[in-house]
Structure 1
Amino acid sequence: MTKWDSGKPIQDSPREAQVIANARTLATEHKLDPDDVAQLIAAQMEANKLVQYGLLAQWQAAGAAPDTPRPDLGKQIRPRLDELQKRLLQQYAAFAPYRQDPNCPAWLANVRNGLAADSLHDMALIRASGELCIRAKAL
């Protein structure tokens, strides 16, 4: 709702670059490849933007956003996102050994099934997890 209220664009390339740079730095703490982590975080941001664009379109069609309390971006949302990013990297480090398993895509599809409340959020989950599994290259 921050973007709705402020009128600022959803796309914030400088902020995204900063988040990815910070994630690359954290990658080494988790013994992860910084490029893999950059790809992971970029996918999460792209998924988030899909939801934001979808919600903005709904609110524009309705003429208003929901009348709910607005958390503060700097004081509440971003600190929570930073915390979630650390947890995401911990979980990704635990998951990394299974990325090349032939069953990985089926596992992810099974886990994703039923998580989303609607098609918009389902598409975001697909985008967020779309590059988690690594398919073996054909010889």
Structure 2
Amino acid sequence: MRPHRFRSVLVAAVVSVMALSGTAPAVAHDAKTADHAAPASTNSLASLTGLFTERLLLADKVAAAKYGTDTPIDDPVRERQILDDVAARAVGLDPDVVAAVFRDQIEANKLVQRGLYARWDAHPDERPTERPDLAKEVRPALDLITTRLLAALQETASVRDDAFCQPRLRAAAALSAYVHRLDVLHLKGLERALPSVCTVASGG
């Protein structure tokens, strides 16, 4: 699917989920409740999109830790270490596919960081008042998500290799966006996180 169409499809899917569930955004904070209403295949992919969303939300802390310092958003050395690590840990999976999925997560994270930098530059009153510790607080959380993502990729291998993966992935992403109440910036990040999930090209 073309990137510019994703947001409109995602919004439409969220509206559909709201209509079917009969719940309002103000109370849509229970991921288990939302996932329970989804088809099994969508529910399975929601394990991935939920983790993608958790990782995206951690981008806020990464940005807060780096903003106003000499630490760049782009860190090619660490990124390469992450990709090599997940490829080596991709037991039973194509390491190139796993690396591609994680490359998308890294790029999605950086997209959100850049968006936050631009927001804070334009609105100094919105700048973070605390600087999280990257080594002690943020990276251990990211490492935990990495382990969970590897397990979720293993569990969803057959669904991701299915011809209907793309629409199911969009539905799962809509559920995750709805549950976590993502703003426009994080929706763009979620869009960027998805391209390598399905291993069969969409026929549409």
The interval holding the TM-score normalised by the smaller chain is: 0.7 to 0.9
**Once superposed, what is the RMSD of the aligned Cα atoms?**
1.8
Report if the CA contact (8 A) 2:97-2:196 is conserved: no
Q: Which one is further off, 51-60 or 6-15? A: 6-15
- The aligned counterpart of 2:105 is 44
Q: 1:53 to 1:93 in 2, by over 3 A?
A: same
Q: Percent identity?
A: 39
Deviations 1:68-97 (A, max 9, x none): x33210011111111110000000111111
Instruction: Give unmatched runs, 5+ long, in structure 1.
Output: none
- CA distance in 2 between counterparts of 1:21 and 1:80 reads 19
Q: How does 1:1-139 map to 2 (within 5 A)?
A: 1-28=64-91, 31-63=92-124, 65-67=127-129, 69-113=130-174, 115=177, 116-136=181-201
- CA distance in 2 between counterparts of 1:137 and 1:121 reads 24
- 1:137, CA displacement in angstroms? 8.5
* Higher share of residues assigned helix: 2
- Matched to 1:4, the amino acid is Y
Q: 1:75 to 1:109 in 2, by over 3 A?
A: same
- Number of residue pairs matched by the alignment: 135
- 1:63, CA displacement in angstroms? 2.5
- Larger relative contact order (CA 8 Å, sep ≥ 6): 2
- CA distance in 2 between counterparts of 1:82 and 1:40 reads 15
The two structures have a TM-score, normalised by structure 2, of 0.61
Report if the CA contact (8 A) 1:104-1:133 is conserved: yes
Report if the CA contact (8 A) 1:98-1:104 is conserved: yes
Q: 1:137 to 1:88 in 2, by over 3 A?
A: closer
The two structures have a TM-score, normalised by structure 1, of 0.88
Deviations 1:7-66 (A, max 9, x none): 3220110010011111112112xx111111111111100000010000000001113513
- Matched to 1:10, the amino acid is I
